[in-house]
Structure 1
Amino acid sequence: MVHPAVRSAAPLLLVALLATGCARPAGGDAVAAAASGLRAPAQSAPRDLPAPALRTPAGAEAPAGPSLPPLPGIGPETLAEVPADTRQVLISSTPGPADTTATTVLFERAGDGWERTGEYAGHNGGAGWKRDRREGDRTSPIGVFSLSDAGGSLPDPGSLLPYTHEPELRTGAAAAYGEDYAAVFDRVIAIDYNRQPGTPPNDDTRPLGWDAGGKIWLHVDHDSPTRGCITVDAEDMVHLLRTLDPAAHPHIIMGPADDLAR
Protein backbone atom coordinates (compact mmCIF):
# COMPACT_ATOMS: atom_id res chain seq x y z
CA MET A 1 0.00 0.00 0.00
CA VAL A 2 1.47 3.38 -0.99
CA HIS A 3 0.67 6.50 0.97
CA PRO A 4 0.65 9.98 -0.63
CA ALA A 5 3.92 11.89 -0.65
CA VAL A 6 4.62 13.87 2.48
CA ARG A 7 5.87 17.42 2.92
CA SER A 8 9.57 18.14 2.41
CA ALA A 9 9.72 21.89 3.12
CA ALA A 10 13.20 23.16 4.04
CA PRO A 11 12.30 24.46 7.51
CA LEU A 12 11.16 21.01 8.55
CA LEU A 13 14.67 19.65 7.98
CA LEU A 14 15.80 21.50 11.09
CA VAL A 15 13.25 19.55 13.12
CA ALA A 16 14.92 16.33 11.92
CA LEU A 17 18.05 17.12 13.93
CA LEU A 18 16.12 16.69 17.17
CA ALA A 19 13.14 14.42 16.57
CA THR A 20 14.41 11.04 15.37
CA GLY A 21 16.13 7.86 16.48
CA CYS A 22 17.95 7.28 13.20
CA ALA A 23 21.48 7.91 12.02
CA ARG A 24 23.86 10.90 11.97
CA PRO A 25 27.13 11.32 10.05
CA ALA A 26 30.27 9.68 11.38
CA GLY A 27 32.92 11.74 13.10
CA GLY A 28 30.69 13.52 15.58
CA ASP A 29 27.11 13.09 16.56
CA ALA A 30 25.50 10.11 14.83
CA VAL A 31 23.27 10.71 11.53
CA ALA A 32 19.79 12.03 12.60
CA ALA A 33 16.81 10.88 10.56
CA ALA A 34 16.23 13.56 7.98
CA ALA A 35 12.69 12.35 7.82
CA SER A 36 11.69 13.47 11.29
CA GLY A 37 10.15 16.68 10.10
CA LEU A 38 8.44 14.97 7.19
CA ARG A 39 5.09 14.17 8.70
CA ALA A 40 2.81 11.50 7.30
CA PRO A 41 -0.25 13.08 5.65
CA ALA A 42 -3.09 13.81 8.05
CA GLN A 43 -5.53 11.78 5.97
CA SER A 44 -3.46 8.61 6.21
CA ALA A 45 -5.43 6.15 8.33
CA PRO A 46 -3.71 3.26 10.12
CA ARG A 47 -3.77 0.03 8.17
CA ASP A 48 -6.16 -2.62 9.38
CA LEU A 49 -3.54 -4.75 11.12
CA PRO A 50 -3.61 -6.32 14.55
CA ALA A 51 -1.52 -4.15 16.89
CA PRO A 52 1.21 -6.22 18.56
CA ALA A 53 2.54 -5.23 21.95
CA LEU A 54 4.90 -2.27 21.80
CA ARG A 55 7.27 -3.97 24.21
CA THR A 56 7.24 -6.26 27.22
CA PRO A 57 8.60 -4.38 30.26
CA ALA A 58 11.44 -5.99 32.15
CA GLY A 59 10.12 -8.37 34.76
CA ALA A 60 6.62 -8.55 33.27
CA GLU A 61 5.07 -11.96 32.80
CA ALA A 62 4.59 -13.07 29.20
CA PRO A 63 1.11 -14.24 28.13
CA ALA A 64 0.50 -17.92 28.65
CA GLY A 65 0.60 -20.05 25.52
CA PRO A 66 2.58 -22.67 23.63
CA SER A 67 6.32 -22.46 24.23
CA LEU A 68 8.73 -21.70 21.41
CA PRO A 69 11.77 -23.84 20.61
CA PRO A 70 15.05 -22.30 21.85
CA LEU A 71 16.93 -19.75 19.76
CA PRO A 72 20.75 -19.60 19.83
CA GLY A 73 21.93 -17.14 22.47
CA ILE A 74 18.41 -16.29 23.64
CA GLY A 75 17.53 -17.07 27.25
CA PRO A 76 14.14 -18.16 28.60
CA GLU A 77 13.06 -14.71 29.83
CA THR A 78 13.77 -13.09 26.48
CA LEU A 79 12.24 -15.96 24.50
CA ALA A 80 9.07 -15.69 26.59
CA GLU A 81 8.52 -12.20 25.12
CA VAL A 82 8.30 -13.62 21.57
CA PRO A 83 4.69 -14.47 20.61
CA ALA A 84 4.07 -18.17 20.05
CA ASP A 85 2.81 -17.59 16.50
CA THR A 86 6.05 -15.89 15.38
CA ARG A 87 7.81 -17.82 12.62
CA GLN A 88 10.47 -15.26 11.64
CA VAL A 89 12.89 -13.70 14.12
CA LEU A 90 15.75 -11.26 13.61
CA ILE A 91 18.37 -11.21 16.37
CA SER A 92 20.44 -8.02 16.35
CA SER A 93 23.21 -8.08 18.93
CA THR A 94 26.71 -7.06 19.99
CA PRO A 95 29.09 -8.70 22.49
CA GLY A 96 28.87 -5.84 25.01
CA PRO A 97 26.38 -3.13 26.02
CA ALA A 98 28.58 -0.27 24.75
CA ASP A 99 29.45 -1.87 21.39
CA THR A 100 28.16 -0.26 18.20
CA THR A 101 28.95 -2.81 15.45
CA ALA A 102 25.93 -5.09 15.36
CA THR A 103 25.37 -8.45 13.71
CA THR A 104 21.79 -9.21 12.69
CA VAL A 105 20.77 -12.82 12.07
CA LEU A 106 17.51 -14.09 10.57
CA PHE A 107 15.94 -17.29 11.91
CA GLU A 108 12.83 -18.95 10.45
CA ARG A 109 10.74 -21.71 11.95
CA ALA A 110 11.54 -25.13 10.53
CA GLY A 111 9.56 -28.00 12.00
CA ASP A 112 10.19 -28.12 15.73
CA GLY A 113 13.15 -25.75 15.60
CA TRP A 114 14.65 -22.70 13.91
CA GLU A 115 16.71 -22.46 10.72
CA ARG A 116 19.36 -19.75 10.38
CA THR A 117 18.64 -18.23 6.95
CA GLY A 118 20.61 -14.96 6.87
CA GLU A 119 23.32 -12.93 8.58
CA TYR A 120 23.92 -9.21 8.06
CA ALA A 121 26.60 -6.79 9.27
CA GLY A 122 25.81 -3.24 10.36
CA HIS A 123 25.58 -0.86 13.31
CA ASN A 124 23.45 0.11 16.28
CA GLY A 125 23.28 3.22 18.48
CA GLY A 126 26.43 5.25 19.05
CA ALA A 127 25.99 4.95 22.84
CA GLY A 128 25.28 1.22 22.71
CA TRP A 129 22.15 -0.34 24.18
CA LYS A 130 19.69 0.60 26.92
CA ARG A 131 16.45 -0.99 28.08
CA ASP A 132 14.94 2.29 29.27
CA ARG A 133 16.27 4.56 26.55
CA ARG A 134 15.35 8.24 26.26
CA GLU A 135 14.98 10.65 23.36
CA GLY A 136 18.37 11.79 22.09
CA ASP A 137 20.54 9.49 24.24
CA ARG A 138 21.88 7.70 21.12
CA THR A 139 21.14 4.21 22.46
CA SER A 140 19.27 1.40 20.76
CA PRO A 141 16.41 -0.07 22.79
CA ILE A 142 16.80 -3.53 24.31
CA GLY A 143 13.84 -5.83 23.89
CA VAL A 144 11.56 -7.80 21.59
CA PHE A 145 9.60 -5.79 19.02
CA SER A 146 7.29 -6.59 16.14
CA LEU A 147 8.05 -5.61 12.54
CA SER A 148 4.89 -4.50 10.77
CA ASP A 149 5.60 -1.67 8.30
CA ALA A 150 8.21 -0.64 5.75
CA GLY A 151 8.97 2.19 3.35
CA GLY A 152 11.70 4.26 1.80
CA SER A 153 12.76 6.94 -0.63
CA LEU A 154 12.92 4.36 -3.44
CA PRO A 155 9.91 2.51 -4.88
CA ASP A 156 8.72 -0.75 -3.37
CA PRO A 157 11.20 -3.51 -4.36
CA GLY A 158 8.64 -6.25 -3.74
CA SER A 159 8.19 -5.91 0.01
CA LEU A 160 5.88 -8.36 1.74
CA LEU A 161 5.41 -5.87 4.57
CA PRO A 162 3.14 -2.88 3.74
CA TYR A 163 5.46 -0.35 2.04
CA THR A 164 5.14 3.46 1.89
CA HIS A 165 7.12 5.17 -0.89
CA GLU A 166 8.35 8.60 0.34
CA PRO A 167 10.89 10.18 -2.08
CA GLU A 168 11.34 13.10 0.35
CA LEU A 169 13.34 10.84 2.66
CA ARG A 170 16.27 10.93 0.22
CA THR A 171 16.12 14.59 -0.75
CA GLY A 172 15.73 15.62 2.88
CA ALA A 173 18.72 13.52 4.01
CA ALA A 174 20.92 14.92 1.24
CA ALA A 175 19.92 18.53 1.96
CA ALA A 176 20.50 18.22 5.69
CA TYR A 177 23.56 15.97 5.85
CA GLY A 178 25.16 15.89 2.40
CA GLU A 179 25.03 13.58 -0.59
CA ASP A 180 27.09 10.90 1.21
CA TYR A 181 24.02 10.19 3.36
CA ALA A 182 21.30 10.55 0.74
CA ALA A 183 20.70 6.79 0.52
CA VAL A 184 20.35 6.13 4.27
CA PHE A 185 16.57 5.88 4.06
CA ASP A 186 16.28 4.31 0.60
CA ARG A 187 14.77 1.27 2.37
CA VAL A 188 13.53 1.17 5.97
CA ILE A 189 11.63 -1.28 8.17
CA ALA A 190 10.00 0.26 11.22
CA ILE A 191 10.83 -1.42 14.52
CA ASP A 192 7.69 -1.26 16.65
CA TYR A 193 9.30 0.50 19.59
CA ASN A 194 7.12 3.39 20.75
CA ARG A 195 5.12 3.60 17.54
CA GLN A 196 1.66 2.67 16.27
CA PRO A 197 1.85 -0.50 14.14
CA GLY A 198 -0.07 -0.27 10.89
CA THR A 199 1.13 3.25 10.05
CA PRO A 200 3.97 4.42 7.74
CA PRO A 201 7.45 4.33 9.32
CA ASN A 202 7.55 8.12 9.35
CA ASP A 203 4.41 8.46 11.47
CA ASP A 204 5.04 10.46 14.66
CA THR A 205 2.63 8.69 17.02
CA ARG A 206 4.49 7.72 20.23
CA PRO A 207 2.29 5.70 22.62
CA LEU A 208 4.99 5.66 25.33
CA GLY A 209 5.42 9.44 25.14
CA TRP A 210 7.90 11.67 23.35
CA ASP A 211 10.67 11.29 25.93
CA ALA A 212 11.08 7.58 25.18
CA GLY A 213 12.25 8.41 21.65
CA GLY A 214 10.95 6.99 18.41
CA LYS A 215 11.52 6.26 14.73
CA ILE A 216 13.76 3.31 15.52
CA TRP A 217 14.23 1.67 12.12
CA LEU A 218 16.16 -0.97 10.27
CA HIS A 219 17.74 1.03 7.45
CA VAL A 220 20.67 1.20 5.02
CA ASP A 221 24.10 1.18 6.65
CA HIS A 222 26.37 4.27 6.43
CA ASP A 223 29.58 2.84 7.96
CA SER A 224 28.99 4.51 11.34
CA PRO A 225 26.87 4.12 14.48
CA THR A 226 23.34 5.52 14.66
CA ARG A 227 21.11 7.41 17.08
CA GLY A 228 19.26 4.20 17.90
CA CYS A 229 18.47 2.46 14.62
CA ILE A 230 19.87 -0.83 13.33
CA THR A 231 21.57 -0.86 9.93
CA VAL A 232 22.39 -3.46 7.29
CA ASP A 233 23.74 -3.18 3.75
CA ALA A 234 21.45 -1.94 0.97
CA GLU A 235 21.23 -5.37 -0.69
CA ASP A 236 20.42 -6.96 2.65
CA MET A 237 17.61 -4.47 3.20
CA VAL A 238 16.03 -5.52 -0.10
CA HIS A 239 16.41 -9.18 0.87
CA LEU A 240 14.72 -8.59 4.22
CA LEU A 241 11.86 -6.66 2.63
CA ARG A 242 11.23 -9.55 0.25
CA THR A 243 11.52 -12.14 3.03
CA LEU A 244 9.81 -10.81 6.16
CA ASP A 245 6.19 -11.86 5.86
CA PRO A 246 3.33 -10.39 7.91
CA ALA A 247 1.75 -13.86 7.96
CA ALA A 248 4.84 -15.08 9.87
CA HIS A 249 4.45 -12.35 12.54
CA PRO A 250 8.12 -11.26 12.30
CA HIS A 251 9.85 -9.87 15.38
CA ILE A 252 13.28 -8.50 16.20
CA ILE A 253 15.18 -9.38 19.39
CA MET A 254 17.80 -6.70 20.00
CA GLY A 255 20.40 -5.92 22.63
CA PRO A 256 23.80 -6.99 24.01
CA ALA A 257 24.48 -10.72 24.19
CA ASP A 258 24.47 -11.03 27.99
CA ASP A 259 21.11 -9.27 28.29
CA LEU A 260 19.47 -11.41 25.61
CA ALA A 261 20.74 -14.57 27.29
CA ARG A 262 18.78 -13.91 30.51
Structure 2
Amino acid sequence: MPVVNVVTSAGRRVLTGAVCAGLLLAGCAAPRAAHGPAVAEGGRTAPSAASPAPGAPVPARPAEIPGLGPATRSHIPATSSQALVVKGDGPHSDQSTAVLYERDAATGWKAVSQPWPAHNALRGWTAHHRAGDLRTPIGVFALGDAGGALPDPGTRLPYDQSEEFNLSGTGFLGEPLEGSFDHVVAIDYNRVPGTSPLNKVRPLGLGKGGGVWIHVDHGGPTRACISLQRDDMRQLLLALDPAKNPVIVMGDAGTLGR
Protein backbone atom coordinates (compact mmCIF):
# COMPACT_ATOMS: atom_id res chain seq x y z
CA MET A 1 0.00 0.00 0.00
CA PRO A 2 1.44 3.42 -0.88
CA VAL A 3 2.13 5.84 1.89
CA VAL A 4 0.20 9.08 1.52
CA ASN A 5 1.38 12.15 3.30
CA VAL A 6 -1.41 14.31 4.65
CA VAL A 7 -0.69 17.73 6.02
CA THR A 8 -3.07 18.83 8.72
CA SER A 9 -4.10 22.34 9.47
CA ALA A 10 -1.52 22.31 12.22
CA GLY A 11 1.17 21.49 9.70
CA ARG A 12 1.72 17.92 10.94
CA ARG A 13 1.95 14.96 8.61
CA VAL A 14 0.34 11.56 9.25
CA LEU A 15 0.88 8.33 7.37
CA THR A 16 -2.72 7.37 6.58
CA GLY A 17 -1.93 4.35 4.45
CA ALA A 18 0.29 2.72 7.06
CA VAL A 19 -2.23 3.35 9.85
CA CYS A 20 -5.13 1.76 7.92
CA ALA A 21 -3.04 -1.24 7.02
CA GLY A 22 -2.13 -1.72 10.66
CA LEU A 23 -5.78 -1.57 11.75
CA LEU A 24 -6.82 -4.11 9.15
CA LEU A 25 -4.11 -6.54 10.20
CA ALA A 26 -4.83 -6.19 13.90
CA GLY A 27 -8.63 -6.25 13.62
CA CYS A 28 -10.77 -3.33 14.64
CA ALA A 29 -13.18 -5.32 16.84
CA ALA A 30 -12.65 -7.90 19.58
CA PRO A 31 -12.29 -11.47 18.25
CA ARG A 32 -15.64 -13.27 17.89
CA ALA A 33 -16.26 -16.56 19.64
CA ALA A 34 -16.71 -19.51 17.33
CA HIS A 35 -20.32 -20.66 16.88
CA GLY A 36 -21.80 -23.99 15.73
CA PRO A 37 -20.44 -27.51 15.91
CA ALA A 38 -16.83 -28.26 15.30
CA VAL A 39 -16.08 -29.45 11.80
CA ALA A 40 -13.79 -32.41 11.40
CA GLU A 41 -11.43 -33.00 8.54
CA GLY A 42 -13.31 -33.53 5.31
CA GLY A 43 -16.16 -31.21 6.28
CA ARG A 44 -17.97 -33.65 8.57
CA THR A 45 -19.42 -32.49 11.87
CA ALA A 46 -17.41 -33.84 14.78
CA PRO A 47 -19.51 -35.73 17.39
CA SER A 48 -20.11 -34.03 20.73
CA ALA A 49 -18.25 -35.50 23.68
CA ALA A 50 -21.59 -35.85 25.55
CA SER A 51 -23.37 -37.69 22.73
CA PRO A 52 -23.50 -41.52 22.71
CA ALA A 53 -21.52 -43.20 20.02
CA PRO A 54 -23.62 -43.86 16.91
CA GLY A 55 -25.14 -47.34 17.03
CA ALA A 56 -24.28 -47.90 20.70
CA PRO A 57 -26.88 -50.20 22.36
CA VAL A 58 -29.11 -48.66 25.04
CA PRO A 59 -28.97 -50.79 28.23
CA ALA A 60 -32.31 -52.55 28.83
CA ARG A 61 -34.01 -52.21 32.20
CA PRO A 62 -34.44 -55.48 34.13
CA ALA A 63 -37.86 -57.01 33.42
CA GLU A 64 -40.60 -56.74 36.03
CA ILE A 65 -43.32 -59.28 36.78
CA PRO A 66 -46.29 -58.47 34.52
CA GLY A 67 -49.35 -57.10 36.27
CA LEU A 68 -47.66 -56.06 39.51
CA GLY A 69 -47.78 -52.38 40.38
CA PRO A 70 -45.09 -50.42 42.24
CA ALA A 71 -46.76 -50.82 45.65
CA THR A 72 -46.88 -54.61 45.31
CA ARG A 73 -43.35 -54.86 43.89
CA SER A 74 -42.00 -52.85 46.82
CA HIS A 75 -42.96 -55.68 49.19
CA ILE A 76 -40.92 -58.32 47.35
CA PRO A 77 -37.62 -58.62 49.27
CA ALA A 78 -34.51 -57.70 47.32
CA THR A 79 -33.05 -61.03 48.44
CA SER A 80 -35.86 -63.03 46.83
CA SER A 81 -35.25 -64.39 43.35
CA GLN A 82 -38.22 -66.77 43.19
CA ALA A 83 -41.88 -65.73 43.38
CA LEU A 84 -45.14 -67.61 42.93
CA VAL A 85 -47.62 -65.00 41.72
CA VAL A 86 -51.29 -65.88 42.28
CA LYS A 87 -53.72 -63.46 40.63
CA GLY A 88 -57.38 -63.73 41.52
CA ASP A 89 -59.98 -63.15 38.82
CA GLY A 90 -61.67 -60.58 41.04
CA PRO A 91 -61.90 -59.42 44.66
CA HIS A 92 -64.85 -61.75 45.33
CA SER A 93 -63.89 -64.61 43.00
CA ASP A 94 -62.57 -68.01 44.10
CA GLN A 95 -60.77 -68.52 40.77
CA SER A 96 -57.09 -67.64 40.30
CA THR A 97 -54.08 -68.21 38.07
CA ALA A 98 -50.61 -68.98 39.43
CA VAL A 99 -47.26 -68.52 37.67
CA LEU A 100 -43.79 -69.16 39.08
CA TYR A 101 -41.17 -66.49 38.30
CA GLU A 102 -37.42 -66.31 38.86
CA ARG A 103 -35.20 -63.23 38.88
CA ASP A 104 -31.84 -62.81 37.18
CA ALA A 105 -29.69 -59.95 38.48
CA ALA A 106 -29.05 -58.63 34.97
CA THR A 107 -32.24 -59.37 33.03
CA GLY A 108 -34.87 -59.29 35.78
CA TRP A 109 -37.91 -61.53 36.25
CA LYS A 110 -39.09 -64.23 33.87
CA ALA A 111 -41.76 -66.93 34.05
CA VAL A 112 -40.41 -70.43 34.61
CA SER A 113 -43.76 -72.23 34.62
CA GLN A 114 -46.90 -72.32 32.57
CA PRO A 115 -49.96 -70.58 34.04
CA TRP A 116 -51.51 -72.93 36.58
CA PRO A 117 -55.25 -72.77 37.32
CA ALA A 118 -55.85 -72.30 41.03
CA HIS A 119 -58.54 -71.83 43.64
CA ASN A 120 -58.55 -69.38 46.52
CA ALA A 121 -61.09 -68.80 49.29
CA LEU A 122 -64.84 -68.98 48.76
CA ARG A 123 -65.45 -65.24 49.25
CA GLY A 124 -62.37 -64.00 47.45
CA TRP A 125 -59.67 -61.80 48.94
CA THR A 126 -58.99 -59.47 51.85
CA ALA A 127 -56.20 -57.21 53.07
CA HIS A 128 -57.42 -57.73 56.66
CA HIS A 129 -57.87 -61.45 57.09
CA ARG A 130 -59.78 -62.73 60.10
CA ALA A 131 -60.30 -66.30 61.22
CA GLY A 132 -63.34 -67.80 59.52
CA ASP A 133 -63.96 -64.95 57.05
CA LEU A 134 -63.54 -67.35 54.10
CA ARG A 135 -61.20 -64.95 52.32
CA THR A 136 -57.57 -65.37 51.31
CA PRO A 137 -55.12 -62.79 52.71
CA ILE A 138 -53.59 -60.40 50.19
CA GLY A 139 -49.86 -59.79 50.35
CA VAL A 140 -46.32 -61.05 49.88
CA PHE A 141 -45.36 -63.93 52.16
CA ALA A 142 -42.36 -66.24 52.44
CA LEU A 143 -42.50 -69.91 51.47
CA GLY A 144 -40.14 -71.99 53.55
CA ASP A 145 -41.75 -75.17 54.89
CA ALA A 146 -43.57 -78.10 53.31
CA GLY A 147 -45.23 -81.32 54.35
CA GLY A 148 -48.03 -83.71 53.60
CA ALA A 149 -49.63 -87.07 54.10
CA LEU A 150 -47.53 -88.55 51.29
CA PRO A 151 -43.73 -88.91 51.28
CA ASP A 152 -41.47 -86.06 50.21
CA PRO A 153 -41.49 -85.96 46.38
CA GLY A 154 -37.97 -84.50 46.33
CA THR A 155 -38.42 -80.88 47.38
CA ARG A 156 -35.51 -78.84 48.72
CA LEU A 157 -37.77 -77.36 51.39
CA PRO A 158 -37.93 -78.96 54.84
CA TYR A 159 -40.70 -81.58 54.56
CA ASP A 160 -42.83 -82.98 57.37
CA GLN A 161 -44.68 -86.17 56.48
CA SER A 162 -47.45 -86.89 58.95
CA GLU A 163 -50.77 -88.69 59.20
CA GLU A 164 -52.17 -85.46 60.63
CA PHE A 165 -52.39 -84.18 57.06
CA ASN A 166 -55.03 -86.80 56.24
CA LEU A 167 -58.32 -85.07 55.46
CA SER A 168 -61.89 -86.24 54.95
CA GLY A 169 -65.27 -84.62 54.42
CA THR A 170 -66.63 -82.50 51.59
CA GLY A 171 -66.01 -79.00 50.29
CA PHE A 172 -68.34 -76.11 49.57
CA LEU A 173 -69.51 -77.69 46.32
CA GLY A 174 -69.94 -81.14 47.82
CA GLU A 175 -66.61 -82.32 46.39
CA PRO A 176 -64.53 -84.80 48.44
CA LEU A 177 -61.60 -83.27 50.32
CA GLU A 178 -59.62 -86.49 50.65
CA GLY A 179 -56.05 -86.11 49.39
CA SER A 180 -56.05 -82.31 49.48
CA PHE A 181 -53.20 -82.27 51.99
CA ASP A 182 -51.14 -85.00 50.36
CA HIS A 183 -48.63 -82.21 49.68
CA VAL A 184 -48.68 -78.69 51.14
CA VAL A 185 -46.44 -75.64 51.34
CA ALA A 186 -47.00 -73.35 54.30
CA ILE A 187 -47.56 -69.66 53.51
CA ASP A 188 -45.85 -67.56 56.17
CA TYR A 189 -48.97 -65.70 57.22
CA ASN A 190 -49.37 -65.59 61.02
CA ARG A 191 -47.14 -68.58 61.64
CA VAL A 192 -43.66 -69.38 62.98
CA PRO A 193 -41.26 -69.79 60.04
CA GLY A 194 -39.00 -72.81 60.11
CA THR A 195 -41.58 -75.12 61.67
CA SER A 196 -43.96 -77.77 60.33
CA PRO A 197 -47.05 -76.48 58.52
CA LEU A 198 -48.96 -78.24 61.32
CA ASN A 199 -47.60 -75.81 63.93
CA LYS A 200 -50.59 -73.97 65.40
CA VAL A 201 -48.74 -71.07 67.07
CA ARG A 202 -50.24 -67.78 65.80
CA PRO A 203 -47.90 -64.82 66.48
CA LEU A 204 -50.59 -62.26 65.52
CA GLY A 205 -53.22 -63.95 67.68
CA LEU A 206 -55.91 -66.51 66.91
CA GLY A 207 -58.30 -63.85 65.64
CA LYS A 208 -56.08 -63.20 62.60
CA GLY A 209 -56.45 -66.78 61.42
CA GLY A 210 -53.68 -69.03 60.19
CA GLY A 211 -52.95 -72.39 58.64
CA VAL A 212 -52.91 -70.81 55.17
CA TRP A 213 -51.27 -73.24 52.78
CA ILE A 214 -50.76 -74.07 49.13
CA HIS A 215 -52.19 -77.55 48.70
CA VAL A 216 -53.63 -80.03 46.21
CA ASP A 217 -56.81 -78.80 44.55
CA HIS A 218 -60.05 -80.60 45.41
CA GLY A 219 -62.19 -79.02 42.70
CA GLY A 220 -63.69 -76.13 44.62
CA PRO A 221 -62.99 -73.00 46.66
CA THR A 222 -60.94 -73.13 49.85
CA ARG A 223 -61.38 -71.62 53.29
CA ALA A 224 -58.31 -69.37 52.92
CA CYS A 225 -55.66 -71.43 51.12
CA ILE A 226 -54.41 -71.58 47.54
CA SER A 227 -54.91 -74.90 45.76
CA LEU A 228 -53.20 -76.24 42.62
CA GLN A 229 -53.80 -79.29 40.48
CA ARG A 230 -51.84 -82.30 41.76
CA ASP A 231 -49.24 -82.31 38.98
CA ASP A 232 -48.75 -78.54 39.27
CA MET A 233 -48.36 -78.85 43.03
CA ARG A 234 -45.65 -81.44 42.52
CA GLN A 235 -43.86 -79.19 40.00
CA LEU A 236 -43.96 -76.34 42.49
CA LEU A 237 -42.48 -78.47 45.26
CA LEU A 238 -39.63 -79.59 43.02
CA ALA A 239 -38.93 -76.03 41.83
CA LEU A 240 -38.92 -74.12 45.12
CA ASP A 241 -35.38 -73.42 46.28
CA PRO A 242 -34.66 -72.09 49.79
CA ALA A 243 -31.46 -70.50 48.47
CA LYS A 244 -33.64 -68.20 46.34
CA ASN A 245 -35.76 -67.07 49.31
CA PRO A 246 -39.06 -67.90 47.60
CA VAL A 247 -42.19 -65.86 48.25
CA ILE A 248 -45.81 -65.95 47.21
CA VAL A 249 -47.38 -62.76 45.86
CA MET A 250 -51.14 -63.17 46.02
CA GLY A 251 -54.31 -61.16 45.69
CA ASP A 252 -56.93 -60.14 43.19
CA ALA A 253 -55.49 -58.77 39.95
CA GLY A 254 -56.73 -55.24 40.60
CA THR A 255 -55.05 -54.97 43.98
CA LEU A 256 -51.79 -56.51 42.78
CA GLY A 257 -51.65 -53.97 39.96
CA ARG A 258 -51.39 -51.01 42.33
TM over 0.5: yes
CA displacement at 1:68 relative to structure 2: 7.8
Q: Does 1:80 align with 2:74?
A: yes
Counterpart Cα distance in 2 of 1:143 and 1:227: 17
- Higher Cα Rg: structure 1 or 2? 2
Counterpart Cα distance in 1 of 2:223 and 2:252: 16
Q: Which amino acid aligns with 1:231?
A: S
Structure 2: gaps spanning 5 or more residues:
1-60
Identify the residue that residue 185 of structure 1 maps to in structure 2: 181
Give 3-state SS (helix, strand or coil) of 1:185's partner: coil
Aligned equivalent of 1:204, options 200, 206, 227: 200
Identify the residue that residue 36 of structure 1 maps to in structure 2: none
CA displacement at 1:180 relative to structure 2: 2.9
CA displacement at 1:113 relative to structure 2: 1.4
TM normalised by structure 1 equals 0.71
- How many residues in Structure 1 have an aligned counterpart in Structure 2? 193
RMSD over aligned CA atoms reads 1.7
Contact 1:90–1:107, Cα closer than 8 Å, also in 2: yes
Identify the residue that residue 40 of structure 1 maps to in structure 2: none
Counterpart Cα distance in 1 of 2:62 and 2:237: 24
Contact 1:68–1:79, Cα closer than 8 Å, also in 2: no
Identify the residue that residue 116 of structure 1 maps to in structure 2: 111
Give 3-state SS (helix, strand or coil) of 2:110's partner: strand
Counterpart Cα distance in 1 of 2:208 and 2:236: 27
Worse-matched range after superposition: 93-102 or 197-206: 93-102
Contact 2:65–2:110, Cα closer than 8 Å, also in 1: no
Q: Please list the CA deviations of residues 110-140 of structure 1 after superposition, one character each: whole Å capped at 9, or x if unmatched.
A: 3421111112112000010000010000000
Give 3-state SS (helix, strand or coil) of 1:214's partner: coil
Identify the residue that residue 215 of structure 1 maps to in structure 2: 211
Structure 1: gaps spanning 5 or more residues:
1-66
Identity of aligned residues (%): 47
Counterpart Cα distance in 2 of 1:153 and 1:163: 10
CA displacement at 1:185 relative to structure 2: 0.2
Q: Please list the CA deviations of residues 5-33 of structure 1 after superposition, one character each: whole Å capped at 9, or x if unmatched.
A: xxxxxxxxxxxxxxxxxxxxxxxxxxxxx
TM normalised by structure 2 equals 0.72
Q: Which amino acid aligns with 1:114?
A: W
Q: Which has the higher contact order (CA 8 A, sep 6+)?
A: 1
Contact 1:149–1:190, Cα closer than 8 Å, also in 2: yes
CA displacement at 1:235 relative to structure 2: 1.0
Counterpart Cα distance in 1 of 2:128 and 2:211: 15
